[in-house]
Every structure is written in C-alpha cells, then in structure tokens.
C-alpha cells in the first residue's frame, strides 16, 4: 500500500510542475521533497527556492519559463553559468544506454505477427533449423 501512496505523491508532484518542465525541474522537486521531509519546519521555506534558466540577450535576462512571482517585490538572483556535459558517445551508444532487454524467442523479429497478433507462423523452415 505504501507504493500506491508514493505513486500518488509522484503524480501530484508532476501535476504541480509547469507544462514545459524539464527533467532537471522534476529532479529538483524530488530532492526538495526529500529535503523537506528531513528538515525542520523553520528551514523548509528557505529550501523552496525556484531554479529557472535564463538567456542574457546583452541587456536583459529572459527566463525560459514562467515563474509565479509577486509583482513589485525585490528578488535576489544567483547567477551561475549552466554547464552542459558533452560526452564522446555516438548515437548508437546513447540508444544502447536507453535500450532494455526483452526475453523473447529467437524468431521474434521474423514472426512478430505471430507473437503480437496470433497469426500462423510464416517461416517454418527457420523453426526446423532451431
């Protein structure tokens, strides 16, 4: 039952994020949630600092997503250069990183209609060799 509560909490967490949220936004919210559970009540408010990325056009910082801020209120902004990690992986390495494994028969690719839709096998010769 605890996992159902966790799933519901995760759904609520995602629902409160803006439509254009990034993985970094989601991860930050998860970390904040964990921190909030371990922090005292006094320090909880201090930890809820939104992090947004912005582009400097030479004169003005332009936020890449909207932030719910109170008009006319002063805000302190910490400026950091966003560091993008560049790996020497090629596209195949990246795809392999995301790919999973499937336990399947050896003729899975040739007989996918049979396994997906229940049609009769079309390549009985392959099966006789196995």
Of 87, 90, 129, nearest to 106 by C-alpha is 129
Burial string for 66-93 (b: 16+ CB within 10 Å, else e) reads eeeeeeeeeeeeeeeeeeeeeeeeeeee
pLDDT at 127 (0 to 100): 54
pLDDT at 58 (0 to 100): 92
pLDDT at 81 (0 to 100): 78
The series of mean pLDDT values per 10 residues for the chain, 130 residues long, is: 70 85 83 62 56 87 85 82 70 76 80 86 65
pLDDT at 46 (0 to 100): 55
The two most distant CA atoms of the chain are separated, in Å, by: 78
Domain ranges of the chain: 2-50, 91-129
pLDDT at 37 (0 to 100): 58
pLDDT at 1 (0 to 100): 45
pLDDT at 44 (0 to 100): 46
Secondary structure (DSSP) of 48-76: ------EEE-SS-EEESS-----TT----
């Amino acid at each position: 039952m605890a996992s159902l509560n966790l799933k519901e909490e995760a759904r609520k967490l995602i629902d409160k994020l803006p439509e254009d949220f990034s993985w970094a936004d989601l991860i930050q919210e998860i970390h904040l949630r964990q921190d909030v559970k371990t922090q005292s009540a006094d320090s909880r408010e201090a930890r809820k600092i939104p992090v947004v990325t912005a582009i400097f056009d030479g004169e003005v910082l332009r936020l890449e997503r909207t932030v719910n801020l109170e008009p006319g209120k002063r805000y302190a902004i910490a400026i950091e250069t966003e560091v993008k990690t560049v790996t020497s992986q090629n596209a195949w390495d990246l795809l392999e990183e995301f790919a999973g494994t499937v336990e399947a028969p050896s003729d899975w690719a040739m007989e996918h209609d049979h396994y997906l839709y229940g049609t009769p096998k079309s390549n009985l010769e392959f099966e006789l060799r196995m």
